[in-house]
């Protein structure tokens, strides 16, 4: 790949966890660091793409001033931000670990610890990537799948169900893979091909993912 291999392309990346408010001081979240998405953003920008990074709460920092970073908190906010830009997007990469459920009602005041049990009713969050798949016209769509069993089958099912062009699988069974580590071990599936990669730093994995996209879809 040449150094400006993504010149002229607009790449939208979702990254990090989402936080779903329970009350003014508490939330439901997950351990996603956002590293994979931020590495993808830096690498795509180095290759000349216009990068729109939509990130949930993450302590990752962006070095590249050209990257258009939008911080959001909840899945609903992430969805809204994605669709502000979606019509401009050539390549959409969903690496965010979006919370699947959110509290049905957000308490206006801090919930007091009175009773021995507390029940919080949850409702399903929007599936951002699935919605992108439904509204797809010219966009190339890439999803992630973090699986613990029947990994290949589950990843391929998501590729179909969410109308994706490509899905990146990480298995929690692989030591050093997944969202809390600096390294990742991936396997990529398209409708017609699959490729397995070695354990590497997330910066190196970002290069592999973008190389694969360029080879498969941009030649
Ligand atoms: O269905 P599952 O959560 O395993 O799918 C993972 C893929 O879907 C990831 O690319 C993730 O970013 C995306 N996703 C999303 N919105 C959700 C749930 C998942 O964009 N609410």
Residue with tokens 């690498």: 43
Annotation: binding site for CTP = 100, 110, 126-129, 144, 158, 162
User: Which is nearest to 206 in space by CA: 18, 19, 49?
Assistant: 49
User: Which is nearest to 32 in space by CA: 97, 89, 119?
Assistant: 97
Quote the ligand 1 centre to 145 CA distance (angstroms). 7
Quote the ligand 1 centre to 127 CA distance (angstroms). 6
Under 8 Å between Cβ of 79 and 54: no
pLDDT at 179: 67
Distance separating alpha carbons of residues 162 and 41, to the nearest angstrom: 22
Per CATH, which fold does 10-99+119-217 belong to? Rossmann fold (3.40.50)
Say how many C-beta atoms besides its own lie within 10 A of residue 61's C-beta.
7
C-alpha dihedral sign at 34, 135, 167, 67: negative
pLDDT at 139: 98
**Ligand 1: which of 33, 129, 188 to mutate, judged by most atoms within 8 Å of the beta carbon?**
129
In DSSP terms, 27 is beta-bridged to 21
Q: What percent of the chain has pLDDT over 70?
A: 96
For 52, residues 6+ apart whose C-beta sits below 8 A from its C-beta are: 10, 11, 12, 13, 68, 70, 85, 88, 89
Q: How far is CA 113 from the centre of its chain?
A: 35
Radius of gyration for the chain, computed over Cα atoms and rounded to the nearest angstrom: 18
Q: Three-state DSSP class for 53?
A: strand
pLDDT at 178: 67
Please confirm, yes or no, whether 170 is among the known catalytic residues. no
Residue 3 pLDDT exceeds 80 = no
Quote the ligand 1 centre to 212 CA distance (angstroms). 21
Residue 70 pLDDT exceeds 70 = yes
Quote the ligand 1 centre to 130 CA distance (angstroms). 8
* Mean pLDDT computed over 121-146: 97
pLDDT at 148: 87
- Place 196 in a pLDDT band, splitting at 50, 70 and 90: very high
* Mean pLDDT computed over 32-47: 97
pLDDT at 2: 52
Q: How many CA atoms lie within 13 A of 50 on its CB side?
A: 7
Q: Per-residue pLDDT tens for 134-191?
A: 999 999 999 999 998 999 999 999 999 999 999 999 877 667 766 667 888 999 999 9
Report the mean per-residue pLDDT for the chain: 95
Active-site pick, 30, 154, 163, 211: 30
Annotation: binding site = 100, 110, 126-129, 144, 158, 162
For 204, residues 6+ apart whose C-beta sits below 8 A from its C-beta are: none
Residue with tokens 């391929």: 156
Q: Residues lining ligand 1, judged by CB closer than 6 Å?
A: 14, 75, 94-96, 98, 125, 127-129, 143-145, 158
C-alpha dihedral sign at 209, 163, 9, 32: negative
């Amino acid at each position: 790949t040449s150094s400006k291999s993504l010149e002229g392309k607009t790449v939208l990346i979702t990254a990090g966890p989402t936080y779903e408010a329970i009350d003014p001081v508490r939330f439901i979240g997950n351990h996603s660091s956002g590293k994979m998405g931020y590495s993808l953003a830096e690498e795509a920008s180095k290759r000349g793409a216009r990068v729109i990074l939509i990130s949930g709460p993450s302590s990752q920092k962006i070095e590249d001033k050209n990257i258009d970073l939008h911080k959001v908190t909840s899945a609903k906010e992430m969805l809204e931000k994605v669709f502000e830009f979606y019509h401009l997007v050539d390549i959409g990469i969903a690496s965010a670990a979006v919370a699947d459920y959110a509290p049905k009602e957000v308490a206006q005041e801090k919930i007091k610890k009175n009773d021995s049990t507390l029940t919080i009713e949850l409702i399903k969050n929007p599936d951002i990537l699935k919605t992108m798949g439904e509204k797809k016209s010219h966009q190339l769509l890439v999803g992630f799948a973090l699986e613990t069993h029947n990994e290949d089958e589950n990843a391929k099912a998501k590729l179909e169900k969410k109308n994706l062009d490509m899905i990146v699988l990480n298995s929690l069974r692989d030591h050093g893979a997944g969202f809390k580590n600096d390294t990742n071990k991936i396997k990529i599936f398209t409708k017609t091909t699959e490729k397995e990669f070695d354990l590497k730093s997330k910066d190196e994995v970002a290069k592999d993912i973008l190389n694969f996209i360029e080879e498969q879809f941009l030649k």
